Chain A
Amino acid sequence: MNAREERRLVTALFCDLVGFTPLTERLDAEQIRSIQTLYFERMSKEIARFGGNVEKYMGDAVLALFGIPTTVGNDAEHAVLCALSMQEAMIPLATEVAGRHGVQLAIRVGVNTGEAVSGLVEAGGRRDYSVTGDVINTAARLQTAAEPGGIMVGAESMRLARKSVRFGERRDLALKGKAHTVVAYQVLGARTGGADQEKEDRNETPLVARDYELGILLHAWERAKDGEGHLVAVMGDAGIGKSRLLTEATERFSGGNSGRHLWGRCVSHGQGISLWLIADLIRSLTGTLIRDSQATAREELRRTVHALLDTAADDVRDTVTDVLGEVLGLPLENPSSFSDDPQVRRQQLIRSLRLILIGLSAQGPAVVVLEDLHWVDAASSEILAEVLADVPGLRLLILAAHRPGWTAPWAEWSWIERLSLRPLAQSEATTLAQTILGGSTLSSEFEQYVTERSGGNPYFVEELLHALREADGIAIQGNQVQLVRSAAEALPSTLTEILLARLDRLEDNVRDLVQAASVIGRGFSVPLLIEVSGWDERSVQEALAGLAGLDIVSRQPGSRSDYAFKHVTMRDVAYNTLLQARRHDLHARIARALAAANSADESVEIIAYHFAHSGEHAEAAIWLERAADHSSDVYANETAIGHYEEARRRLELVGEHDAAVRIGEKLGGIFRLVAWYDEALEEFETAAALYRRNGDLEGEAGLVAQIGQVHFLRGAPEEAIDSIRDVVGRLEGDVDDVVSSPGLAALYTALVDPLYSLNRFEDALTAAWRALELARLLDDSSLLVEATVHYGLALQGIGRLDEARLVLDEAISLAEAAGDQASLAEALMLSGDLCVAEGRPRQGAERYRRALGISEDRGDLSGTAALLSRLGYTSFILGDWNAAREQHEQTVELVRSISFSYFSASALVTLGEHYLREGEADKASRYLEEPFTLAERSGRLSQIPYLHVPLADWDLTQDRPEAALNRLGPLMAKAVFETPLDHRAMQIAAEAQLLMGNDVAAAEIIERGMEHAEGQGNALARLGWLQVAAVLAAHGNDEEKAFALLATALDLCRGMPHIYEEGRILYRRGLLSQSPTAREDLAMACAIFERLGSRPHVERVQRELAKVAVAQ
């Protein structure tokens, strides 16, 4: 047994007889049997006529399927029309039964479209289709909801058939056996107007970018009007706009009036009906409909023939009427003039049609439109070939539209013209979508969605928009149309039907190949397709050439893939037809082939993708993890997270729980980087617990070090220290001076930052040193780099800047050598801090900038924020306050996006201080209060005294020394002179004491401060102390000394340069009453503050300038 199974769009029609049961009680078996047979015959005939297949008879019910085994592209429409036809066909039967047995017989029909699995089963020499899917059950249930004599259809069927069928209001049916309500529509009837009606419908779609084609048609029309008849063949895929173009053209020909034109339209179910097209043309000629009565049809035909053949003899007119009438199935009026010989009758028909065309042309130029000729019946095609040969001598324009792949009988004629409709260009498709949506501009995402999915097919554009609208996939923001991603995933079934029909025209084995290619992707290489399909190269190449000819795929010269699906939607449809199991199998084969053929680095993500879509979880996990590692290496953090999570899910599925936890560890690392601290902690803690359970103390230590880092980053240094110390205690017992432990080294390194942030500088130094000792013993380069960086930090904290500089320089070269970007950025940042403290802000900024580049590349948010803040500080020092403001604003924006950063509070204060200096008090206040609540809420109380420093500074410049001293109380009690911020706090305190007259207290602070600043080589601190010392000297009326100190300070800060301090020093010197340069100093200070944009300072200086002027 051999089975070929597929998933595909199927329409099921379910029909059941009502009123039959009472009949069975009254009649004998034979009578019943004969009524049943008649019923089944009539129904089957209708089903066959519309291209359906009877799947099953069940009691009095019939199940028919449309779109199986192949689709013609509008099966749902056929099914609904078929249902209408079945109801009509029941009328005579019901009338007969009612008359004879007094019972009302009727049918109810349900039609439903959806995806089903269909299989061709070959067994015992028989081929059979089996179809499974909810679509059939639902059709049966819909049938029960229909009225006797009525038709109820599902939503998909309605969508696909609404062009030719009228439906009632939407109904939500609670059907038996269905958990949810089912959307259903009652069929009201077929749309009446045929081609004309359709013309109205289609006019709603704007015609875009067909000026060239229209020009050709108009030109042909002009020639036809002059008696030079013409045939233009318009070729293009379904939906490309053939009918729309022809409608537009005929309207232009007649200047908007209903001109003289005939429309003949072939239908797919008409292919088996002899002379369908000719009959349709005759109806168009006479203005009648299929459903008109024979009498009406006959009368109209006679009138038309007489009018057209006004100069012909009566018997000719009668014969023509009879010949054409026969095509319509009308009874003959003059049977005697009719031959029994089919050949003769064929000639009679050809002659009649010729006469009609001549008559038509004689009365004025006319257009004959022949639509969907690829579905033409053989007899019509032959007749047309004969009749249309006359056209060049007539005032006629024939417009013949068909899809590619159909060979016209006039293919060899030299006088005809061929137009091939191409897909719209991207911009044209966008214009079309815009026009349909009422002229709004489209977001680029929306534009891409529509152009890519439609492949430039106007009908697809329209249907996509329609489907989006129904799924609430269109949102208007401002004046722009935005795509709602969640609603945009499903493919409209209208598109599926059309594309599926193209696939169905392929040979089975070529179809298999297309499906295999669709699993590879939109683009695919020939060798891979050979490998996966198992075909030989020649067969594959031949098949691909054929597919290229059918416009299904196209060659991709110069790209990695040899071929690509022309249409991404075509690829999707082909892919969707595959059963889950076969998809899985193909993906696995592709993944293996790729893994065998390529260096894994290059294709790791593609291989992972294919394994991920196969059922092989273990392999999928391995490759997903590799892909994630790869993404993480290039800092594609989000992608990495996605891959790791999927890898973990697969490992859990195959019961590899420990391996899953190991992946969680990697995930945690990325979460930490992107500042998802809660998630990072969860991962690390789970992993640490696993190591603990396994008694792996080393492994646990490595994780606890990371947990500590996360606690620190989220602003909880005490928790960091507590969590680390416990494991340190357990590990230290196992370690002596010759046996080291990487875990312990990592733990000590992780202690440095939290200790430092709590101002426990000596402990930080101890921890960093211990980490360094252990790393050296281990000779582990990455541990060594990290330990060295942190040792540099600790030295800096303790104020040993010279040593710190050496250590950090070493850390930079170690990090560069080890390729450790994270440590490199950190070392550069700390080294930049040193430069700034040493009075080299430009070099500092340079290092910050280099580190910033690295942090941004890594997606390290907290690192990026820290560096932006520092760059803001150097911009401030160097006098570029616009840049400074911007950088501080960016920092604040960034720290607000991080769940909680260890320096959020200080970032806010810094921005607030900046606004203060610029005189933006209102803006400033917004940033100056929040940090305190932030610090309190996070329990970072040790940070609070430092948050007061900028505010105390401001109090001082506003002549509020008492307020400044209040703020600095806790820091003054500690009286340390280590970090730059310590110095600054003590300088403010000293100056405040001076202003309050406590010169002795101030002198003591100044002496110690100066001593430390000089001992540490902290030029920035020294700059501050020189100024406070000058104020002290001035207080003691030693203006000369004050002047000298300020001159030294001025030299120092000009060497940096530190523009703001320069202004402050000049201002201070300008205040010395004995100074010979007071006026110039104040003027220069004023100019500096003006240039910086510091309004409050400018005002202060101007006040002093005014005093000087008065004094003079």
Chain B
Amino acid sequence: MKILLVEDNEMNRDMLSRRLQRKGYDVVIAVDGSQGLDVARREAPDLILMDMSLPVIDGWEATRQLKAAAETRGIPIIALTAHAMAGDREKALAAGCDDYDTKPIELPRLLGKIELLLPPAGQFQPADSAR
């Protein structure tokens, strides 16, 4: 199961990727919005964790583009934001995000959201073992 983490904050990126890997996920990484688009197209992840305040192209715009393109439209996206601005959640959903979470990441909560959005585990078992 492959997750793309688009995150510019180094500490957050390191920690989240490490913890997701320990949970058995394959994690690929991008450090800004434009790189996020490239990696999403190339790696076809099963899910994207998208920070909203990104350099170059921000998370809102990257999400819009991913949801607009046929090849990436089906990938579920969870928006991550550190700012608890009123309306951020609605704004994220409007941009096409499938779910939304606030930093700091509480891992069990995030894992719950991830599980909900991913297809049933068994289906992807062969791909996993081929890795």
Contacts and interface: CB of A to CB of B under 8 A. Distances in A.
Contacts of B86: 1015
B83 to A, nearest CB: 6
A755 B104 CA distance: 15
A761 B82 contact: yes
A762 interface: yes
B94 interface: no
B104 A803 contact: no
Given A737-B107, A762-B103, A1011 B10 contact: no
Interface of A: 732, 736-737, 751, 755, 760-763, 765-770, 798-800, 803, 1011-1012, 1015
B84 A800 contact: yes
Interface stretch (B11-19, B31-39, B62-70, B119-127): B11-19
Contacts of B18: 732
Contacts of B82: 761-762, 765, 798
A767 B12 CA distance: 8
B42 interface: no
A763 B22 CA distance: 21
A766 B9 contact: yes
Contacts of A732: 18
Interface string B19-33: 100100000000000
Contacts of B85: 1011-1012, 1015
A803 B84 contact: yes
A1012 B105 CA distance: 22
Q: A-B pairs with the 9 shortest C-beta distances? A: A769-B104, A763-B11, A762-B9, A766-B12, A1015-B85, A762-B82, A763-B9, A766-B11, A800-B84
The CB with the most chain B CB atoms within 10 A, among A763, A766, A768, is that of A766
Contact of A736 (B22, B83, B84): B22
Contacts of B15: 766, 770
The CB with the most chain B CB atoms within 10 A, among A736, A761, A763, A798, is that of A763
Nearest to A800: B84
B100 to A, nearest CB: 16
A799 B11 CA distance: 19
Nearest to A764: B11
Contact of A763 (B10, B53, B84, B105): B10
Contacts of B83: 798-800, 1015
Contacts of B22: 736
B104 to A, nearest CB: 3
B104 A766 contact: yes
A736 B21 CA distance: 12
B11 A751 contact: yes
28 contacts: A737-B107, A751-B11, A760-B9, A760-B10, A760-B11, A762-B12, A762-B53, A762-B82, A762-B103, A763-B10, A765-B103, A766-B9, A766-B11, A766-B12, A766-B15, A766-B104, A768-B104, A769-B103, A769-B105, A770-B15, A770-B104, A798-B83, A800-B83, A800-B84, A803-B84, A1012-B85, A1015-B84, A1015-B85
A769 B18 CA distance: 16
Nearest to A755: B11
B29 to A, nearest CB: 15
Contacts of A755: 11
B34 to A, nearest CB: 18
Contacts of A767: 11
A803 B102 CA distance: 13
Nearest to B84: A800
Interface in B77-122: 82-86, 103-105, 107
Interface residues of B, number: 18
Nearest to B7: A762
Given A755-B11, A766-B15, A769-B104, 15 more contacts: A736-B22, A751-B11, A762-B53, A763-B9, A763-B12, A765-B104, A766-B9, A766-B11, A766-B12, A766-B103, A770-B104, A798-B82, A799-B83, A1011-B85, A1015-B83
B31 to A, nearest CB: 13
The CB with the most chain A CB atoms within 10 A, among B11, B15, B53, B85, is that of B11
A619 B19 CA distance: 49
A4 B83 CA distance: 83
A246 B11 CA distance: 89
A780 B36 CA distance: 40
Interface string B26-64: 000000000000000000000000000100000000000
Contacts of B53: 762
Nearest to B86: A1015
Nearest to A768: B104
B92 to A, nearest CB: 15
Nearest to A977: B83
Contacts of B12: 762-763, 766
A40 to B, nearest CB: 94
A326 B36 CA distance: 127
Contacts of B103: 762, 765-766, 769
Contacts of A760: 9-11
A767 B105 CA distance: 11
A769 B53 CA distance: 19
A113 to B, nearest CB: 74
A800 B9 CA distance: 18
Contacts of B10: 760, 763
The CB with the most chain B CB atoms within 10 A, among A760, A762, A1011, is that of A762
A292 B69 CA distance: 132
A910 B51 CA distance: 36
Nearest to A978: B83
Contacts of B84: 800, 803, 1015
B54 to A, nearest CB: 11
A751 B10 CA distance: 13
Nearest to B88: A1015
Nearest to B16: A766
Contacts of A1012: 85
A3 to B, nearest CB: 73
A789 to B, nearest CB: 15
A768 B105 CA distance: 11
Nearest to A797: B82
A1015 B85 CA distance: 5
Contacts of A762: 9, 11-12, 53, 82, 103
A524 B63 CA distance: 83
Nearest to B23: A737
Nearest to B8: A762
